[in-house]
């Protein structure tokens, strides 16, 4: 009998004869897993790796020693849901972490593959609680990849067990993921009360059983929907959201010999270092004249449609290897030749002063290599006696228009500009088209299309040399392995056959977007005020709509010049890069970058109910880095309270502080609870202050950092 025939027979059995159950693990007949098949990994040679052809999700629930106190925590419940043959097979649950490991061992006795994948929706949290119990039974991991300290992406053991994080793939919490993908089971938010002290002999209520069951059952259903849409097997699922388009780009790039172009233009290591110095993230700034002032009246927001993808299609990029110019040149020399050539260089300036009291100064303090006698505005320079900074010609166009200075360009390197390769820009446009056409269609396809489009820029700006972060399995600490010199790692990156997108393209995408934002800001009416900027959006009291329309026509012309147009759906046209209306507000207040609050105006667009029947009119909207959106409740509907020194309390915001406890041994407490390492999550207050954050670092992250919130309170 062929595999597909046996598969269909067993699929029919689980669909029509077998009944799914949520059951305590000791009462389950594990021989059911004998029917689950395995699949060989394609291209793995004469002795292929085999993977159990099922989807498994794990989760733990924990309790504090004392409710509402920062203290050690321990596992009081765990679940494992298994899905195969397009059906939910079982959800197993238990209390003790040692039983969790024993349950997996029992599963593995009946599963026939050499490897089994176990997903966790936020592996970084659960791993701390189960690690010691896994070590005792299976030894320390064979391989572990960490995106940063305490954030493992995957963990593999010698016995074939693989733990993978699904949060980094989904890029959203489980409640939103299950709702977005419209799976059968969604997270049962609110049915587990967290401020109760439980022990491992706790008798679960029906609500608690439903809660822990749905945490993993929703997970396996979401994984299956994603896997089916991507046409993947359990062994070939991407690790991250960025991995979804990355594989497609590599496949298309191989067809069009992208590797050959990469090898021709990839820079030498010292030039790569200059490029990293030139790179900056999105421009985020508040008008210094309106800090801690409530602006009343009409405030209108404009937002670019897919800003970074537009830049990829509309502009020209360095398409030859950067070469030294061999001489110092004037600012004017760079600007005169900036249409044909890309330049990277160090700009050395004296007597620097901002022109005309410009509201959004572009010169970034944190990027300067040397600075003397500066006057600053929330991380931007207003004036200084001396400054040196690495730039490219696009950044220089903005800075030279804003500042008076005497200067010269040194350490100059140049490259010939051309459009990005057609195969790549066609893929970018295809992703935009898919996003537009799927917006009100299949939720899974739309979710993936959106992730693809949003990830394309990130693929270009990832640093080639990444820190190797290793977990110390004895102490629980994470350390950076610096044994291999960065230059050696860079040479390895250059030789990898999967390296096809040069870093300099990402550098230039951000520079073009930076320039576009300032061009949009120039469209604020003469009697209006540019209040705030954030990467691809601007808030102002009044816009010159004729100028905005002219800007949008310019964007369309740039796209047409490279052979691209709009996506048309019925009578509506969708254009990349154009500035669109993004909200009407009646009050606005900011204390600096990534810290602002505004009130939705009582106008028709804000009176329309959303999918949940809620309206925006007259409600406050909060954007503060590190504070969940629901923290707006702390303001008691009074925008004037939004000022430096205001405390957002953790009980209201749901913002939690992580405290790690590493005991480095397993022990039994007086209540009979198995204990080991743990994390405490306690409400964390946030004070609104003047602390500046390095946003550039955040822009180079490949993942979205999880913000822990109380169940049922998700925005």
Q: Is residue 435 scored above 50 in pLDDT?
A: yes
Residue 46 forms part of a structural domain = yes
Residues with Cβ within 8 Å of residue 345, at least 6 apart in sequence: 334, 390, 391, 392, 409, 410, 411, 412, 413
Categorize the per-residue pLDDT at 706 as very low, low, confident or very high, splitting at 50, 70 and 90.
very low
Q: Which tens digit of pLDDT belongs to each residue from 546-605?
A: 999 999 999 999 999 999 999 999 889 999 999 999 999 999 999 999 999 999 999 999
The pLDDT, as a whole number, for residue 44 is: 64
Q: According to the model, what pLDDT value does residue 449 have?
A: 85
Residue 509 has pLDDT above 90, yes or no: yes
Model-level pTM? 0.89
Cα→Cα distances 603→525, 587, 607, 615, Å: 22, 13, 6, 11
- What share of the chain in percent tops pLDDT 70? 96
CA distance 528 to 533: 15
Whether 93 is in a domain gets the answer: yes
- Higher pLDDT, residue 272 or 172: 272
**How many angstroms separate the CA atoms of 688 and 291, rounded?**
13
Rounded Cα distance between 310 and 562, Å, is: 11
Q: What share of the chain is helix, strand, coil (3-state, %, to 5)?
A: 35, 30, 35
CATH number of 115's domain? 3.30.420.10
325 and 178 in a single domain? The answer is no
pLDDT at 704 over 50: no
Task: Give the chain's domain count.
Answer: 2
Which residue among 388, 419, 450 closes a domain? 419
The domain boundary residue, chosen from 239, 272, 303: 239
Listed residues 239, 265, 292: the one ending a domain? 239
CATH number for 401: 3.30.1770
Instruction: Indicate whether 216 and 81 sit together in one domain.
Output: yes
Residue-level pLDDT at 697:
45
Per-residue model confidence (pLDDT) at position 232: 94
The whole-number pLDDT of residue 710 equals: 36
Are 198 and 328 members of one domain?
no
Residues 478 and 461: their CA atoms lie apart, in Å, by 25
263: in domain: no
Residue 166 lies in domain: 3-239
Q: Identify the bridge partners of residue 682 per DSSP, sorted by sequence position.
A: 657
């Amino acid at each position: 009998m062929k595999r597909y025939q046996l598969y269909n027979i067993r699929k029919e059995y689980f669909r029509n004869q077998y009944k799914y159950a949520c059951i305590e693990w000791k009462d389950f007949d594990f021989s059911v897993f004998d029917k689950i098949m395995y699949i060989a990994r394609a291209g793995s040679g004469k002795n292929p790796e085999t993977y159990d052809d099922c989807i498994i999700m794990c989760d733990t629930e924990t309790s504090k020693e004392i409710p509402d106190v920062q203290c050690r925590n321990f596992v009081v419940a765990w679940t494992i849901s298994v899905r195969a043959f397009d059906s939910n097979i079982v959800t197993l649950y238990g209390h003790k972490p040692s039983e969790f490991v024993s349950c997996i061992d029992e599963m593995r006795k009946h599963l026939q593959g050499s490897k089994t994948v176990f997903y966790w929706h936020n592996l970084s949290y659960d791993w701390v609680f189960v690690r010691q119990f896994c070590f005792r039974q299976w030894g320390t991991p064979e391989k572990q990849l960490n995106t940063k300290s305490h954030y493992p992406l995957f963990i593999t053991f010698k016995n074939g067990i693989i733990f993978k994080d699904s949060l980094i793939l989904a890029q959203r919490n489980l409640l939103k993921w299950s709702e977005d993908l419209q799976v059968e089971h969604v997270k049962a938010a609110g049915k587990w009360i967290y401020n109760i002290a439980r022990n491992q002999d706790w008798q679960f209520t029906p609500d608690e059983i439903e809660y822990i069951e749905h945490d993993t059952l929703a997970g396996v259903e979401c994984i299956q929907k994603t896997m089916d849409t991507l046409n993947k097997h359990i062994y070939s699922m991407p690790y991250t959201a960025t991995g979804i388009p990355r594989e497609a780009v590599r496949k298309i790039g191989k067809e069009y010999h992208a590797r050959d172009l990469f090898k021709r233009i990839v820079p030498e290591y010292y030039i790569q270092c200059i490029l990293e110095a030139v790179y900056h993230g999105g421009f985020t700034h508040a008008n210094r004249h309106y800090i801690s002032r409530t602006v009343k009246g009409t405030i209108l927001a404009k937002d670019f449609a897919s800003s970074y993808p537009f830049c990829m299609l509309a502009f020209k990029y360095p398409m030859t290897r950067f070469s030294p110019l061999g001489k110092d040149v004037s600012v004017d020399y760079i600007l005169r030749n900036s249409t044909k050539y890309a330049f990277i260089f160090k700009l050395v300036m004296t007597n620097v002063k901002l022109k005309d009291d410009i509201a959004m100064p572009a010169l970034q303090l944190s990027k300067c290599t040397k600075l003397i006698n500066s006057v600053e505005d929330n991380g931007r320079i207003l004036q200084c006696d001396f400054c040196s900074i690495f730039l490219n010609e696009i950044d220089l166009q903005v800075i030279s228009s804003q500042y008076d200075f005497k200067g010269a360009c040194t350490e100059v390197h140049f490259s010939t500009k051309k459009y990005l390769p057609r195969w790549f820009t066609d893929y970018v446009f295809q992703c935009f088209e898919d996003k537009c056409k799927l917006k009100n269609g299949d939720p899974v396809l739309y979710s993936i299309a959106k992730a693809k489009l949003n990830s394309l820029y990130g693929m270009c700006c990832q640093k080639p040399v990444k820190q190797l972060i290793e977990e110390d399995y004895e102490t629980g600490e994470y350390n950076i392995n610096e044994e291999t010199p960065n230059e050696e790692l860079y040479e390895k990156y250059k030789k990898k056959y999967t390296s096809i997108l040069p870093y300099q393209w990402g550098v230039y995408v951000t520079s073009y977007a930076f320039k576009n934002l300032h061009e949009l800001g120039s469209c604020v009416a003469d009697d209006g005020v540019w209040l705030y900027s954030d990467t691809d959006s601007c808030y102002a009291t009044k816009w010159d709509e004729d100028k905005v329309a002219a800007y949008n026509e310019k964007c369309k012309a740039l796209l047409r010049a490279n052979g691209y147009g709009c996506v048309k759906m019925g009578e509506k046209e969708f254009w990349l890069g154009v500035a669109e209306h993004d909200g009407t507000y009646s009050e606005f207040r900011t204390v600096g970058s990534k810290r602002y609050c505004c009130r939705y105006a009582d106008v028709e667009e804000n009176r329309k109910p959303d999918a949940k029947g809620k309206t925006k009119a007259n409600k406050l909207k909060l954007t503060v880095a590190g504070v969940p959106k629901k923290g707006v409740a702390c303001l008691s509907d009074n925008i004037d309270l939004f000022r430096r020194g205001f405390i957002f309390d953790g009980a209201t915001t749901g913002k939690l502080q992580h405290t790690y406890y590493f005991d480095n041994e397993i022990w039994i407490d007086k209540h009979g609870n198995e204990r080991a390492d743990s994390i405490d999550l306690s409400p964390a207050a946030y004070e609104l202050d003047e602390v500046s954050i390095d946003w550039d670092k955040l822009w180079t992250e490949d993942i979205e950092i999880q913000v822990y919130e109380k169940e049922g309170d998700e925005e």
